[in-house]
Each structure stands twice: as C-alpha cells, then as structure tokens.
Amino acid sequence: MILKRYNLKLQNLFCMSEELEERFHRWAKRVRDFCRKVKPDLINREYIGQLVRASSSVDANYTEASDDLGKGDEKMKIKTSRREAKESVKFLDLILVYDDKELEKEQLYLVDEGIQIRKILSAIVKKLGG
C-alpha cells in the first residue's frame, strides 16, 4: 500500500512538470534575492557567485530536460539539476549572515527548499531508471 502511494506520488511529479519548473524558478529567484541582501565581503562574494550560478542551473537544466530530446538526455539533465541543487545547499550553508536573524531565517528556508528539490529530482532519476 505504501509503495502504491509512493508510485502515485512519483506519477504526479511527472504530471506536474510545469509546476515543478515554476517551483524551481521561484527558488532560484529567492536565492538571488537572498544573495543581494547578504554582506558582499571577500568571503561571501565567492560563495554568492557560485550559489547564483548553481541555483539558476537547477531551474535551467530541469527546463531543458522537459524539451523531449530523448530519455538519455532527459536523465542527464535531471541528474545535472540534482547535482546543482546539492551544490546550492552547500553554498547556502557557507554564506555568512553575521547574526542577522531575518537573513538566517531566509537562509534556513532556502536550504530546506534546496534539500526538498534535490529529493524530488532524486525520485525522478530513480523513476527514469538510474
């Protein structure tokens, strides 16, 4: 019964391709906006550049995966998107917010959403066979 529900959830993920695209896009925009609020010191500047590239790549690669260029290309783009989500979470964690409670709250939200996105992408990869 649990496996049936799990499979139904995975099937729903594929039906919600546009919904996931929008979710990943909103996350990338929130990451961008977060980075604009962070103090751009020597350390953060390096992380910010990497984070903006990685988070926007999650959205871009997922969008490209839905272009229907074949299962192999689709799987590769989803895996790339998943890897970029994982990398984004790492950079989000490394950014210094200097005890700014509002930024810290946003940082935690973005990390959690990044982890959820990575899990969604992992489930899709598994469903695609690898």
At residue 108, the pLDDT reads: 98
Nearest Cα to Cα of residue 35 among 116, 110, 117, 115: 110
Return the pLDDT at 50. 98
* CA 34-35-36 angle, 5° bins: 90
Tens-digit pLDDT string for the chain (130 aa):
444 444 545 554 444 489 999 999 999 999 999 999 999 999 999 999 999 999 999 999 999 998 877 888 999 999 999 999 999 999 999 999 999 999 999 999 999 999 999 999 999 999 988 6
Q: Is 100 exposed, middle or buried (0-12, 13-18, 19+ CB in 10 A)?
A: middle
Q: Which CATH superfamily is domain 2-127 in?
A: 23S rRNA-intervening sequence (1.20.1440.60)
- Residue-level pLDDT at 1: 44
| Domain parsing of the chain, residue ranges | 2-127
Among left, alpha and beta (phi > 0; psi -120 to 50; other), residue 68 is left
Torsion of CA 71, 77, 81, 86, to 10 degrees: 80
Quick one: pLDDT at residue 8? 45
For 69, how many CA atoms within 13 A lie in the half-sphere containing its CB? 13
